[in-house]
């Protein structure tokens, strides 16, 4: 065995991080990890090595209910809660810039919640003039089903009819621009307003006259990044002044 070979312990650490150490072996490893600093170093090194693979995965916009669930669990655990709404922003410097950029990010993605967080950002840095609002009403054979809105407050989709989805399927929304493949801009959640995730490539396709389409996909969305199921609803984007 050359010095470049992994020791048995390091193999375990690597496979733990990769995810192929499973079942009882994984639980045993986690138990040992607590009392073994060298093993923790090895795990941290592998976490660092492999973290770049997560960049191959498309990020997804979380619904606000996920955060609410976290807060509920922290409250239930009796953690002393710092109230998000009453804490003042930090001074300038790195965190101040974060504050600006984070708020700006929240503003542009429509993830902003009402309250001092967003307000503080408005005070700290006035938002740029809003881009034009674009909307599309997506209809199937019978009736309108969804309204999609791209506005300064962030893109989102709202059900307007009573679209039905089989339990184990998801509805996925696509931008279909002429001359390029459909680009997914997110899954449509059940009920209520779903914020959408637009990366640079998708954002550049969003223009008046472009077709939006909703397809029926396996739970979690199309595995191929292209529509695989039937197109249920379509609509064209128009500019609203």
Partner 1 sequence: MDAVGVMPAVASLVDGDETMAALLSRCAGRDRRALRQLYDAMSPVMLGVAMRMLRSRSLAEEAVQDAFVQVWDRAGQFDPSLGSPRAWLLGILRYRALDRLDAEARHRRLDGVELDEAAQGGLLPPVAPDVSEDSVGVRRCLGELADGPQRSILLAYVEGCSHGEIAERLGEPLGTVKSWILRGLQSLKRCLER
- Residues 170-209 vs partner 1: string with x where CB under 8 A? x----------------x-x-------xxxx--xx-xx--
Tokens of 155: 């893109």
- State which of positions 73-92 bind partner 1 (CB under 8 A): 73-74, 77, 79-84, 87
149 membership: H or E segment, kind and range: strand 144-150
C-alpha span between 189 and 156 (Å, rounded): 11
Least distance in angstroms from the C-beta of 144 to partner 1: 24
Least distance in angstroms from the C-beta of 233 to partner 1: 19
- Is position 227 an interface residue for partner 1 (rule: CB under 8 A)? no
Least distance in angstroms from the C-beta of 139 to partner 1: 24
Nearer to partner 1, 197 or 215 (CB): 197
- Spatial contact of 206 and 200, defined as CB atoms under 8 Å apart: no
- Is position 19 an interface residue for partner 1 (rule: CB under 8 A)? yes
Nearer to partner 1, 144 or 165 (CB): 165
- Is position 38 an interface residue for partner 1 (rule: CB under 8 A)? no
Least distance in angstroms from the C-beta of 143 to partner 1: 26
Identify the residue among 28, 31, 38, 58 touching partner 1 (CB under 8 A): 58
Residues 6+ apart with CB under 8 A from 39: 9, 13, 32, 33
Backbone phi and psi for residue 198, each to the nearest 5 degrees, phi listed first: -110, 115
Least distance in angstroms from the C-beta of 163 to partner 1: 16
Exposed, middle or buried: residue 184 (CB in 10 Å: 0-12, 13-18, 19+)?
Answer: buried
C-alpha span between 42 and 40 (Å, rounded): 5
> Regarding beta strands 169-176 and 183-188, do their DSSP bridges make them parallel or antiparallel, or are they unpaired?
antiparallel
- Is position 218 an interface residue for partner 1 (rule: CB under 8 A)? yes
- Is position 234 an interface residue for partner 1 (rule: CB under 8 A)? no
Residues β-bridged to residue 1? none
Stretch that binds partner 1, among 3-11, 140-148, 158-166, 173-181 (CB under 8 A): 3-11
- Residues 94-133 vs partner 1: string with x where CB under 8 A? xx-xx--xx-xxx-xx-x-----x---------xx-xx--
Tokens of 177: 């621009």
- State which of positions 138-177 bind partner 1 (CB under 8 A): 150, 152, 155, 170
The conformation of residue 162, written as its DSSP 8-state character, comes to -
CA dist list (Å): 110 to 82, 193, 200: 24, 10, 16
Nearer to partner 1, 143 or 236 (CB): 236
> N- to C-terminal Cα distance for the chain?
71
Nearer to partner 1, 126 or 142 (CB): 126
């Amino acid at each position: 065995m050359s010095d470049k070979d992994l020791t048995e312990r390091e193999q375990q650490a690597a496979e733990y991080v990769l995810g192929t150490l499973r079942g009882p072996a994984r639980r045993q490893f986690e138990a040992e990890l607590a009392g073994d600093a060298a093993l923790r170093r090895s795990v941290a090194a592998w976490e660092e090595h492999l973290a770049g693979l997560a960049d191959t995965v498309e990020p997804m916009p979380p619904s606000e209910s996920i955060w609410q669930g976290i807060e509920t669990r922290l409250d239930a655990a009796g953690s002393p809660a710092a109230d998000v709404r009453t804490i003042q922003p930090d001074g300038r410097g790195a965190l101040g810039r974060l504050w600006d950029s984070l708020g700006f990010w929240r503003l542009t993605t429509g993830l902003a919640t009402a309250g001092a967080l967003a307000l503080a950002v408005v005070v700290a840095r006035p938002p740029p003039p809003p881009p034009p609002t674009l909307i599309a009403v997506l209809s199937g054979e019978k009736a309108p089903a969804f309204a999609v809105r791209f506005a300064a407050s962030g893109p989102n989709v709202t059900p307007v009819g009573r679209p039905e989805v089989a339990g184990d399927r998801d509805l996925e929304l696509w931008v279909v621009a002429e001359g390029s493949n459909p680009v997914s801009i997110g899954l449509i959640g059940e009920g209520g307003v779903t914020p959408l995730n637009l990366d640079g490539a998708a954002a550049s396709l969003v223009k008046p006259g472009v077709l939006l389409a909703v397809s029926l996909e396996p739970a979690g969305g199309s595995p191929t990044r292209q529509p695989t199921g039937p197109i249920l609803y379509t609509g064209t984007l128009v500019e609203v002044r």
